[in-house]
Each structure stands twice: as C-alpha cells, then as structure tokens.
C-alpha cells in the first residue's frame, strides 16, 4: 500500500534524525503534544508510529515488489528506531533501576547514532528506489 510506503519513509527519516541529532534528555517540563524533536511525547508517538509501520511494512507489499523481502531494510530500520525511541522514553520516565534494562540501555546508547543513520539512509534510498529488492 502506498500509504505505508509514505509513512515508512517519513517515520524512518524523522526517527533517524531524532536519534542522530538530539540529546538523550528531552524537555520533561513541556506539557501536551508539540511538534518538537526535544518533546518526550512527540518522541513516544513517533516511536510507536515508526515501530508499527515497520511491522506493517513487512506484511504489506507494493504492487510489483517481492513480498516480505522487498521492504526488509526499511521495515527493520523502522522497528529498530521505534524501539529505541520507545525504550528511551520508558527509561527517562522510570525511576526503578533494572539490571536487564540497563544492558539494553547501554546497547541503545552506544548504537543510537548508527540506528539513526541507517534509518535516514533507508528512508532516502527507499524514496529514490521504491522497487529495488531489500529497499
């Protein structure tokens, strides 16, 4: 479906940009929903949209494209960037330390910029070459 194609490109580009450029601590004093990369609520909504679009992108296919494999890299990039944004939102709001989540947090913190670069690159390549295998 073309709607998921466009949503995948936008979500990957925005999530990748936020993961690559923005600091870890969003402004917790902002209330409501504002379209700012520093707003925690915006990051959460974008993370949910990006992860959900990644999952649905695996299931849906554009006409003339190979099922599942055709959009694999943008779908995986959307799932990874969405998970990173959602997990960062959770860790910023959580006051309880957990050994399991500290390992995941260390992994996400170390690779945050790389996930952002891959998400932005997959969005750009997916936009330019819509029917190329794996893109």
Q: What pLDDT, on a 0 to 100 scale, did the predictor assign at position 31?
A: 57
pTM for the model stands at: 0.83
**Residue 45 reports pLDDT greater than 90:** yes
Give the span between the Cα atoms of 120 and 13, in whole angstroms.
5
Indicate the burial class of 130 (C-beta count within 10 angstroms; 0-12, 13-18, 19 or more): middle
CA pseudo-torsion sign 93, 46, 108, 29? negative
So where are the chain's domains?
2-128
User: For residue 2, what pLDDT is reported?
Assistant: 79
pLDDT band at 14, cuts 50/70/90? very high
pLDDT digits (tens, 9 = 90+) for 28-43: 555 555 667 778 888 9
pLDDT value of residue 23: 66
- 70-106 pLDDT, tens digit each: 788 899 999 999 999 999 888 887 777 777 677 788 8
Q: How many CA atoms are closer than 13 Å to the CA of 15, on its beta-carbon side?
A: 38
* Closest residue by Cα to residue 129 from 74, 57, 53: 74
């Amino acid at each position: 479906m073309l709607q998921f194609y466009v949503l995948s490109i936008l979500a990957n580009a925005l999530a990748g940009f936020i993961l690559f450029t923005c600091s870890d601590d969003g402004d917790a004093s902002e209330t409501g929903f504002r379209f700012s990369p520093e707003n925690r609520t915006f990051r959460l909504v974008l993370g949910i949209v990006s992860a959900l679009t990644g999952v649905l992108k695996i299931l849906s296919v554009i006409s003339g494209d190979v099922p599942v494999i055709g959009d694999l890299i943008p779908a995986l990039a959307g799932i990874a960037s969405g998970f990173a944004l959602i997990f960062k939102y959770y860790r910023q709001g959580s006051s309880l330390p957990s050994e399991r989540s500290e390992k995941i947090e260390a992994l996400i913190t170390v690779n945050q910029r790389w996930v952002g670069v891959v998400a932005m690159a997959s969005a750009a390549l997916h936009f330019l070459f819509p029917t190329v295998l794996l893109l």
